[in-house]
């Protein structure tokens, strides 16, 4: 689980695990199933802590433009290779059996792309690809329609000064979709359409 302290390059920090575990515990307690995914897996630093949560019938969907950095419009996280990600995935998860990879520009991907790739809806999805306002909004719209009722979407860099497009994208998305709200913002921003409040003391990683 603790990929961040075991050398995977990237921008994910262990305290975020506690919130992920609380989301996962809510799903398990309520028998809610669904797949897991991330746009912008880079080397896997935030993908692996998500992928370890996958149950036996759950897929982890990895979306990244990988070697095609021409579509990385804001140059966030360069120098990533699909083979390196897959090797990291195998090292941590033990096999790539439940891994599905969409290599390409998330800006041409739709809700249907994600549902088809995984074979059904998602319960937790991380958005950390291109950070411009229009790209973040596109990813949010596409992913949110692919989520179960009771799902969680994490968004990185909500208040990062280098990525000023993320916050307006999220704020406008929330204004347009009142069924989604901010669930937690201690680490990565977490949005949810679940009728659930995080416990005061989330489970520890």
How many other C-beta atoms are found inside a 10 Å radius of the C-beta of residue 28? Answer: 12
Q: Does 11 bind ligand SAM (CB under 6 A)?
A: yes
Query: Terminal CA-to-CA distance of the chain, rounded, Å?
Result: 8
- Shortest approach of ligand SAM to residue 51 CB, angstroms? 12
Given the DSSP bridges, would you call strands 122-127 and 35-39 parallel, antiparallel or unpaired? parallel
User: Two tokens at 166?
Assistant: 């993320």
Give the whole-angstrom CA distance, residue 161 versus residue 192.
24
Smaller CB separation from ligand SAM, 2 or 149: 2
Q: Does 106 bind ligand SAM (CB under 6 A)?
A: yes
- Shortest approach of ligand SAM to residue 46 CB, angstroms? 3
Nearest one of 39, 118, 44, 111 to 71, comparing CA atoms: 39
Q: Does 64 bind ligand SAM (CB under 6 A)?
A: yes
- Which range in 22-30, 42-50, 147-155, 165-173 contacts ligand SAM by CB under 6 A? 42-50
Which residues make Cβ contacts (< 8 Å) with residue 73, sequence separation at least 6?
130, 132, 135
The Cβ-side half-sphere exposure at 41, using a 13 Å CA radius, reads 34
Q: Does 45 bind ligand SAM (CB under 6 A)?
A: yes
- Shortest approach of ligand SAM to residue 35 CB, angstroms? 17
Q: Does 37 bind ligand SAM (CB under 6 A)?
A: no
Q: Which one of 10, 34, 49, 121 is in contact with ligand SAM (CB under 6 A)? A: 10
Interface residue list for ligand SAM (CB under 6 A): 10-12, 40-42, 45-46, 63-65, 71-72, 76-77, 80, 105-107, 128-130
């Amino acid at each position: 689980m603790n990929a961040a302290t075991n050398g995977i390059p990237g921008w994910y920090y262990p305290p975020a695990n506690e919130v992920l575990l609380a989301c996962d515990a809510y799903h398990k307690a309520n028998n809610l199933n669904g797949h897991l995914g991330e746009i912008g897996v880079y080397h896997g630093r935030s993908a692996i802590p998500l992928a370890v949560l996958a149950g036996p019938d759950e897929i982890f969907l990895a979306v990244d433009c990988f070697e095609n950095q021409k579509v990385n419009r804001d140059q966030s996280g360069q120098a990533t290779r699909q083979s390196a990600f897959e090797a990291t995935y195998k090292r941590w998860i033990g096999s790539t059996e439940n891994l599905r990879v969409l290599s390409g520009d998330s800006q041409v991907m739709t809700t249907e792309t994600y549902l088809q790739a995984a074979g059904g809806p998602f319960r937790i999805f991380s958005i950390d690809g291109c950070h411009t306002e229009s790209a973040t909004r596109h990813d949010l719209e596409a992913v949110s329609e692919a989520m179960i009722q009771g799902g969680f979407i994490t968004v990185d860099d909500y208040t990062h000064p280098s990525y000023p497009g993320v916050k307006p994208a999220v704020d406008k998305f929330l204004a347009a979709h009142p069924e989604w709200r901010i669930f937690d913002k201690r680490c990565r921003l977490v949005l949810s359409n679940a009728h659930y409040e995080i416990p005061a003391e989330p489970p520890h990683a």
